């Protein structure tokens, strides 16, 4: 596959008023959201994704990220695909509600309201904003160089691409960040904090169910959804569920690790969300209680109604990176990695 090189001649200082050409590495939600914004702004760009197929995004999704789309919500996505949410309800293992966080004034105070949408659905909506010719799959970045006049990127298939600005949106184990930091380390410009390994803190399994029976899950009938967070006094876990449209639910269980338990999970350590290992963790959390019904519901009721391809497990680290440099910008998990 051949590409037109949009970057300037590195031997000539560019004094033109042309728009900069942006290279985005990573076609996850962050990379595609940036691409969609550039598309609307008329700024030239190309997105490169290492996976040859659509990425497996984590199934559950926090409503707070919708602030990114708040000004363009009506024009970008159908409101019918989301569900209003203004409360977070916290329960204990006895299915007793301990307290409620109310965000019903969000729209009045900030200009947007909380809405819930499965991440898979949001990903598909965002992907539809990016023309096919701008997205190149099966492109694993090997290295990049940058200078006063441009950025040069090389991929594992031997192809190369040039541009003006490079955005790394390729996840927690970012090839863009690694290449950038390797160069900065050689030049003695990398802070010591950014050279440390990612601290491995928790492991999470999440899912997006198929259609459920509203009689068994009566809160599906409610016009407004709530995020239901559950905690345990004895187990190193938290878990949450919430209703979305089409009588479906999103769920997630997170195990918080200490020094010993983290060693047991390092063999699964991965660069992204995936189906591998989800079954074994689901067995550990099936009996965890959730409110609703007649006091008998557990995560098992949701897991059994979740297709395998809509279930994922991932290791989660917690770290904030401080450094970007020259023409390279780090985005989302490339910059900060944190538990849910």
Question: What confidence tens digit (pLDDT) does each residue in 172-213 have?
Answer: 678 887 777 777 667 676 666 555 665 667 888 999 999 999
pLDDT at 37: 92
pLDDT confidence bin for 10, thresholds 50/70/90? very low
Long-range Cβ contacts of 306-310 (<8 Å, 24+ apart): 306/207, 306/208, 306/209, 306/210, 306/251, 307/210, 308/275, 308/278, 309/56, 309/275, 310/59, 310/120, 310/207, 310/208, 310/209, 310/210
- Report the alpha-carbon angle 134-172-307, nearest 5: 75
Distance CA 187, CA 281 (A): 43
Domain spans in the chain, listed from the N-terminal domain onward: 22-57+124-197+320-337, 200-317
Is residue 160 scored above 50 in pLDDT? Answer: yes
Q: Which CATH superfamily is domain 22-57+124-197+320-337 in?
A: FAD/NAD(P)-binding domain (3.50.50.60)
pLDDT confidence bin for 330, thresholds 50/70/90? confident
pLDDT confidence bin for 136, thresholds 50/70/90? very high
How many CB atoms neighbour CB 322 within 10 A? 9
Question: DSSP 3-state assignment of 202?
Answer: strand
Distance CA 73, CA 67 (A): 9
Per-residue pLDDT reduced to its tens digit, 41-66: 999 999 999 988 765 555 544 444 55
% pLDDT > 90, the chain: 36
Q: What is the mean pLDDT of residues 151-177?
A: 87
């Amino acid at each position: 596959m051949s590409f037109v090189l949009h970057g300037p001649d590195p031997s000539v200082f560019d004094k033109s008023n042309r728009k900069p050409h942006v290279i985005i590495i990573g076609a996850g939600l962050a990379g595609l959201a940036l691409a969609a914004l550039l598309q609307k702004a008329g700024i030239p760009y190309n997105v490169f994704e290492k996976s040859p197929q659509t990425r497996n995004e984590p199934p559950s999704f926090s409503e707070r990220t919708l602030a990114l789309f708040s000004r363009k919500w009506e024009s970008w996505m159908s409101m019918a695909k989301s569900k209003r949410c203004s409360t977070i309800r916290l329960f204990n293992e006895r299915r007793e509600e301990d307290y409620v966080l109310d965000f019903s004034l969000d729209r009045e105070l900030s200009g947007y309201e909380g809405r819930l949408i499965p991440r898979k659905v949001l990903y598909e909506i965002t992907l539809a904003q990016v023309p096919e010719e701008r997205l190149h799959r099966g492109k694993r970045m090997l290295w990049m160089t940058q200078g006063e006049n441009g950025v040069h990127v090389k991929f594992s298939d031997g192809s190369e691409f040039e541009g003006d600005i490079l955005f790394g949106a390729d996840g927690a184990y970012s090839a863009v960040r690694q290449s950038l930091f390797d160069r900065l380390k050689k030049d003695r410009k990398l802070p010591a904090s950014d050279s440390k390994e990612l601290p491995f803190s928790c492991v999470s399994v999440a899912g997006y169910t198929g259609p459920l029976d509203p009689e068994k899950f009566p809160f599906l009938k409610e016009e407004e959804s709530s995020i239901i967070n559950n905690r345990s006094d004895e187990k190193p876990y938290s878990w949450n569920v919430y209703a979305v449209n089409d009588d479906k639910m999103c769920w997630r269980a997170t195990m918080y690790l200490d020094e010993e338990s983290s060693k047991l999970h390092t063999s699964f350590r991965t660069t992204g969300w995936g189906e591998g290992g989800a079954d074994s963790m689901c067995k550990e959390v099936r009996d965890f209680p959730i409110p609703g019904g007649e006091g008998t519901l557990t995560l098992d009721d949701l897991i059994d109604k979740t297709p395998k391809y809509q279930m994922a497990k991932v290791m989660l680290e917690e770290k904030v990176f401080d450094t970007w440099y020259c023409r390279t910008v780090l985005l989302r998990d490339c910059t900060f990695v944190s538990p849910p």
